Amino acid sequence: MTLTIALTMFIGKKLGFSKHFRALMASGNAVCGSSAIGASSPVINAEDNDKGISITIVNLTGTMLMFALIPIAGYFYNFETLQTSALLGGILQSVGQVIAAGSMVNHNVLEMATIFKIVRIVFLVIVVLWLSREFNNKELEMDTEFALEEEAYSKKKNKISVPWYIIGFFILCILFSFGLIPGEVSKTFKMISSKFEIVALAGIGMRVNISELIKQGPKASLYGLLVGLSQIIIAIILIKIFI
């Protein structure tokens, strides 16, 4: 995640994008797509246009990677569960994309890739806090009404919280691990969740605004492409080292 954020900020700077836009791209690609962008944009006072374009690019990049990573996983790892799960869960931008890509391989990869993804989402709070300090501290130094701005900043910071589904995920993991959830109940919920995978995939498609991306020109597309390629290279190297 740290490498993804650093490279996204670096690539965006070289391409001439604003710091606010680069920050949105970094959080979206490193953590959890549109949700991370939505959480980051208020604390850095991002413009609506930057938010909209970054969501479009991140969603399109994630959708392309969702299909591209399957043959890559087959070539490098022969769909071995741990390596394939780390690749999918460590790169793809949204939970829906991870679930959709994992289901294309097998159920074991789907479950483990989701765990890798959830671990990334847990760090959303840290990323948002870092962005909040990075941007707001500089604004406070320049503002003559320091006390009022500092109070507003503190209130904004206090609003940052862990997403509810992360809390639910860990609670259910603990309950299931201790055998407090019957097998039949677990089986039923797995069957229901498989149906929602179709809905998630459809939702991903509806969130990609191609016309908005075309309007921004080739530079925005190039930014998304370079970030996606960087994520693949980073993931392959880290998997080679640690797994």
- Based on the structure, what is the number of domains in the chain? 1
The CA distance from 167 to 191, in Å, is: 22
Compute the average pLDDT of residues 188-212: 68
pLDDT tens-digit series, residues 53-103: 888 899 889 999 999 999 999 999 999 999 999 999 999 998 889 989 999
Residue 224: CB atoms within 10 A of its CB come to: 24
For 58, the domain range is 2-242
pTM: predicted TM-score of the whole model, two decimal places: 0.79
pLDDT tens-digit series, residues 101-113: 999 999 899 999 9
The CA distance from 166 to 209, in Å, is: 28
Question: In 3D, which of 121, 60, 61, 59 has the Cα closest to residue 90?
Answer: 121
Q: Where are the beta strands (DSSP E) in the chain?
A: none
The CA distance from 243 to 196, in Å, is: 31
pLDDT of residue 139: 55
List, in order, residues 6 or more apart from 24 with CB less than 8 Å away: 37, 40, 41, 44, 46, 50, 51, 54
Q: How confident is the model at residue 35 (pLDDT cuts 50, 70, 90)?
A: confident
Tokens standing for residue 30 = 């490193």
Distances (CA, A) of 137 to 40, 48, 143, 184: 15, 22, 10, 52
At residue 217, does pLDDT exceed 80? no
At residue 24, does pLDDT exceed 60? yes
Tokens standing for residue 151 = 């109070």
